Amino acid sequence: MNMIIQRLFAKRFLSFFVAALSLIFLLPTLSKAASFPDLVPLVKKLKPVVVNISTKQTLSPKHGKSEEMLDSLKNSPFEKFFRQFLDKMPKEKFSSRSLGSGVLIDAKGYIVTNDHVVADANEIMVRLFDEREFSAKVIGRDKKTDLALIQIQAGVDLPIATFGDSDKTEVGSWVVAIGNPFGLEATVTAGIISATGRMIGNGPYDNFLQTDAAINPGNSGGPLFNLDGEVVGINTAIMSRSGGSMG
């Protein structure tokens, strides 16, 4: 009887030992499968192809329509309120500044960004990753796709990005966004593609990739990279009630 109990105990112990040993060998594989991608080498490679864009726009005060509105409100309870508002408006031309991002696509200084980043700008300045600054000129603009091509004269060949196929980008794919949100240069955020083919009512070519990588004001015109370091999108719009990234 004791011999039978010993044999049963030995078999169960052996089974437990084999199962435990198998689990030990599987742990590294499971850990590797569940780990996040190592983005450090990728980011070091890609940062030099992303640029900071700052623009200056000179605006003229438009009092014509305001005066017409004021005349229509004459002797009404709202006349005083609108007159006070009108008196606070600039009487002379004033400057407006904005920030955005862009990506180098040609060694001769050609940069892709959003059209709304450079639209109606009187002055466009581009700052490279190494902090050199250059004046840029607009080569072409397309309001319908919200894309623009600008160029700087750096005097030397510049590092450039390569383009991937956004049609092959799948939901769940890892992506990296590099840009200048709120003027904070070379900011890197990462996430996944949340959806493809998004229609947000932004022009006739309404077919966007949605990502949960943080995209904020100043990221406009910056690139969205896949893990092969290829540009699969240009960060264009934020769908948010707060104005900040909500995924």
CA-CA distance, 83 to 73, in Å (whole number)?
10
Q: Could you say which of 54, 116, 166, 245 is catalytic?
A: 116
Q: Could you say which of 220, 228, 240, 245 is catalytic?
A: 220
For residue 222, give every residue at least 6 positions away whose Cβ sits within 8 Å of its Cβ, in sequence order, or none: 50, 100, 101, 102, 103, 113, 177, 178, 179, 180, 234, 235
208 sits in which H/E element: strand 208-211
CA-CA distance, 19 to 31, in Å (whole number)?
18
Spatial contact of 194 and 175, defined as CB atoms under 8 Å apart? no
Active site residue 63: no
Q: Could you say which of 115, 146, 166, 245 is catalytic?
A: 146
Active site residue 87: no
Which residues are catalytic, by number?
116, 146, 220
